[in-house]
Amino acid sequence: MPEKYHIHLKTTPPRFQPFGKYSTVEFREDCAGSCKECVKKKCVYGIFEDDYVHVSSMEEPEYLYACQSCFRCVQECTKGIFSRVINPDYRTLGDDYWRSEIIHRLWYQAHTGKIPVSGAGYRGPFVGEGFDSMWTDMSEIVRPTRDGIHGREYINTCIELSRRATRLTFHEDMSLASEVFPIMEVPIPVLFKQPSFGVLSENVLLAAARAVHLLGSMMFIQAEDYSESFVPYADSLVPCLTKASYQDFSDLVLKSRMVELAYEPGIEKEFDKLRSLRPDLVIGVSIPLNAEAASRTLHLAHTEVDTLRLYGDDRGEELDTEKPRFLKDMIREVHLTLVENLIRQKINLVFSGGIAMAEHMAKAIICGADGVTVDTPLLIALECWLCNRCLEGKSCPVELEAIDPEWGSQRIMNLIGAWRNQLIEVMGAMGIREARRLRGEVGRSMAFEDLERECFGPLFGERKVSGVTA
């Protein structure tokens, strides 16, 4: 039996003290001082042991960065003088999409490589926008042989990036007559993309390139930023080119297993020219997620392209419209367009924009994606606060430009390792052993809009938003 795919995780502490969600409040004048073991020393997660400098010096504030919210310390303090408050700096992180709790979880996963848990449970809204209006089915969770990362069955997270033959033909002697395309697989349905903003020093890009190389996945990178330092990772890099520029980067094409061209009318005419440079080259095309995305995808699916990457904005919203749809709805439209035209199996679809957590990856695949790309989470794994100071020409508070690429690559590997474990947990709970079988499996999910329409529609009618029936 082949060896299981494994991501090597290693605890990689942050360089700077992260913003913790909680800070402690203690009325020390009432402290008995005679407890055999202070509640801080009994913390099962060792939170206060990590912050022992605060215990010994009694400095304020004490930010509980890795606290799991079990509140055992608050409940078991014999004098009742110990409590928690929300750290005000924590509230300033990110924005209304890249929320503070998302950034905090990504920091924790990049640090430890572990799946984040919360002892106090989820106390947010029952439903939200975007991916928060979708739930996954856990009907097979009682089966011990499919118990996620702890189960005895192998759960495959591999996807393909090369095109597939839709029909096989044979000679009279039963030898294969169909053309056999080169097969290119990656072991996880997560690809990297060079972020569109932030401190993108060579060290930052090298950290991501090294991580994606060790993970066995691929990273989309601007050809102009490709230097000699990236040559050791060439097999894992996908240069992003245009119809006008790819001839200027012919040497780069020869080094790469895959390249990507920006969409423009007639781009399919360039595929043969590219493959004349390297016959086994895997070709991708990037398409903006707008009103024409589905029709463009259908057109290109009939050509010799291998993978299409469709991208929305950084919040996962549709482009070029005043009333944008969210990524999950765009994925469904593109996927079903190909299904209805009986060509979905030939082409690979990868989606970009707004993928912020592991659950977004799983839900995007359920909606019809083969895989997703991440960009902003890579920066967050390197301690980025999303403070946008770099956009204003100010210095980076965590000095991203000076990171050690080896340290940064391990942080990114920890993050993706935690994401893959969460995907395996979801698939195991669904009874699905293959990531490719999860694609488009909407029967394994529940959408708030559908549930509301089916359960309350017959009683109260359909919901109307701004005069439009939803």
CA distance 259 to 276: 14
For 52, list phi and psi in degrees, rounded to 5. -65, -20
Contacts of residue 135, Cβ cutoff 8 Å, sequence gap at least 6: 445, 446
What confidence score (pLDDT) does residue 149 get?
A: 66
Residue 127 has a pLDDT of 84
Pick the more confident residue, 468 or 283.
283
Cβ within 8 Å of residue 93, ≥6 positions away: 19, 99, 100, 103, 104, 385, 386
Q: Which of 244-253, 297-306, 420-429, 451-460 has the lowest mean pLDDT?
A: 451-460
| Residue 208 pLDDT | 96
- Could you give the count of Cα atoms lying within 13 Å of 299 in the half-sphere of its Cβ? 14
**What is the average pLDDT across 27-54?**
69
Asked which of 43-47, 197-201, 287-291, 309-313 is least confident by mean pLDDT, the reply is: 43-47
Per-residue confidence band for 97, with pLDDT thresholds at 50, 70 and 90:
very high
Torsion-angle region of residue 441: left (phi > 0), alpha (psi -120 to 50) or beta? beta
Say if residue 115's pLDDT is above 60: yes
Q: What does each C-alpha distance from 393 to 154, 376, 390, 400 come to in angstroms?
A: 49, 19, 5, 14
Global pTM? Answer: 0.90
pLDDT of residue 455: 87
Q: How confident is the model at residue 468 (pLDDT cuts 50, 70, 90)?
A: very low
Q: How confident is the model at residue 145 (pLDDT cuts 50, 70, 90)?
A: low
Structure tokens at 145: 């042989």
Q: What is the mean pLDDT of the chain?
A: 87
Lowest mean pLDDT among 254-258, 313-317, 393-397, 411-415: 393-397
Which residue is listed with tokens 């935690």? 418
pLDDT exceeding 70 applies to what percent of the chain? 89
Q: Which domains does the chain have, with CATH numbers?
A: 22-92 (3.30.70), 159-450 (3.20.20.70)
pLDDT at 194: 94
Q: How confident is the model at residue 317 (pLDDT cuts 50, 70, 90)?
A: very high
- Rounded Cα distance between 171 and 177, Å, is 6
Confidence of residue 76 (pLDDT cuts 50, 70, 90): confident
Q: What is the mean pLDDT of residues 447-467?
A: 78
User: Between these two residues, 252 and 116, which has the higher pLDDT value?
Assistant: 252
Half-sphere exposure of 404 (CA within 13 A, CB side): 8
Over 70: is that where the pLDDT of 142 sits? Answer: no
295: helix, strand or coil: helix
| Range with lowest mean pLDDT among 55-59, 132-136, 412-416 | 55-59
pLDDT band per the 50, 70, 90 thresholds, residue 89: confident
DSSP 427-451: HHHHT--BHHHHTT-GGGEEEHHHH
Omega of the bond leading into 195 within 30 degrees of 0 (cis): no
In angstroms, how far is CA 242 from the centroid of its own chain? 26
pLDDT tens for each residue of 262-272: 999 999 999 99
pLDDT exceeds 80 at position 405: yes
pLDDT computed for residue 61 by the predictor: 46
Q: Highest-confidence range of 21-25, 103-107, 128-132, by mean pLDDT?
A: 103-107
Q: What is the pLDDT of residues 433-451, one digit of tens each?
A: 899 999 999 988 998 888 8
Once rounded to an integer, what is the mean pLDDT over residues 4-32? 81
Selection from 331, 300, 307, 293 nearest residue 445 by Cα: 331
What pLDDT does residue 42 have?
77
Name the most confidently modeled range: 35-39, 46-50, 88-92: 88-92
